[in-house]
Amino acid sequence: MLLAIITISLMAGLFGLILGYAAIRFKVEGNPIVDQIDALLPQTQCGQCTYPGCRPYAEAIANGEAPINQCPPGGQATIVALADLLDTEVLELNAEHGEHVEVPLIAVIDEQICIGCTLCIQACPVDAILGSAKHMHTVIADECTGCKLCLPPCPVDCIDMIPIEQTIDDWKWTLPKPVEPGSSWSSADA
């Protein structure tokens, strides 16, 4: 009896030590689910979801504070991917936050009109605008995410959003279509 109690207590103590050590040694920094959600978001950093960037929105989703349908740039594809990850129901995109556009846009500064006020540089979430005070500004096209956050601060309305030009390298083959179900068979098909 006594032996059993001592053995069990020793084992409990030992396991406790192992668990305690493991908790320190294998401690996970941050919330891994936030990283996974963040990886699925389009990283436009546009704030249309009402959170200041994709990561804050990912944190809000992980904490159950926000639904998964507030990201217009990601569109339905992102919602499906998030629902898949979190094992929740697929929702329709919440139209309050904006509409999904299929063609990606980038900002272009009309350099004739720009007065060099630096307000757009401060607004850009990915540092994609180059320039300094009273000098012309320009958008680094490769880095622009098309978030439109530079539009409201511009005092002279010199920034336009234009669709990215499609090149031969971006061109995609289209999926063929099977015969529409329900279409009747005719002798011409024979």
Partner 1 sequence: MRDLHHFHGGMRLPGHKNESLVRDLQQASLPAQLLLPLKQHIGEYNKPLVDIGDRVRKGQVIAANPALICAPVHAPTSGTISAIAKFPVAHPSGQADTCIVIDVDGEDEAATAVLPDLQQLDAQQMVELISRAGIVGLGGAAFPTSAKLARGNMNGIDTLIINGVECEPYITCDDILMRTSAAEVLRGTGYLQRILQPRSTLIGIEDNKPEAIRAMTAALAQAGLAQTEIVAIPTIYPSGGEKQLIQILTGKEVPHGQLAFDIGLFCQNVGTCVAITRALEQDQPLISRVVTVSGDNIRQPGNWEVALGTPIRHLLELAGGYLHGTTAHLVMGGPMMGFSLASDQVPIVKASNNILVMREQTIPHSPGFHDECIRCSKCTEVCPASLLPQQLYWHARARAYDRTQEFHLFDCIECGCCSAVCPSGIPLVQYYRAAKSEIRAAQQAQVKSDRARLRFEFRERRLQLKKQQEEERRRLKRAALQQKTAKAGEDTASVADPVQAALERVKARKQALQEESS
Scanning 62-70, 89-97, 125-133, 149-157 for contacts with partner 1 by CB under 8 A, the matching segment is 125-133
Q: Considering CB under 8 A, how many residues would be counted as binding partner 1? A: 29
Q: Which is nearer to partner 1, 155 or 178 (CB)?
A: 178
Which has the closest alpha carbon to 57: 125, 144, 11?
A: 125
x/- map, 136-165, partner 1, by CB under 8 A: -------x-x--------------------
What CA–CA distance (Å, rounded) separates 59 from 41? Answer: 12
Please say which residue, 52 or 116, places its beta carbon nearer to partner 1.
Answer: 52
Asked if 26 interacts with partner 1 (CB under 8 A), we say no
Using rule CB under 8 A, residue 89 touches partner 1: no
Residues 78 and 92: beta-carbon distance below 8 Å: no
User: Does 30 sit near partner 1 (CB under 8 A)?
Assistant: no
Asked if residue 78 binds partner 1 (CB under 8 A), the reply is: no
Chosen residue from 45, 48, 69, 70 binding partner 1 by CB under 8 A: 45
**Cα 77–Cα 79–Cα 84 angle in degrees, nearest 5:** 95
| φ/ψ (deg, to 5) at 152 | -60, -40
Instruction: State the Cα–Cα distance between residues 86 and 106, nearest whole angstrom.
Output: 31
CA–CA–CA angle 65, 69, 70 (5° rounding): 75
Q: Could you list the residues that contact partner 1 (CB under 8 A)?
A: 38, 41-45, 53-55, 125-128, 143, 145, 166-168, 170-180
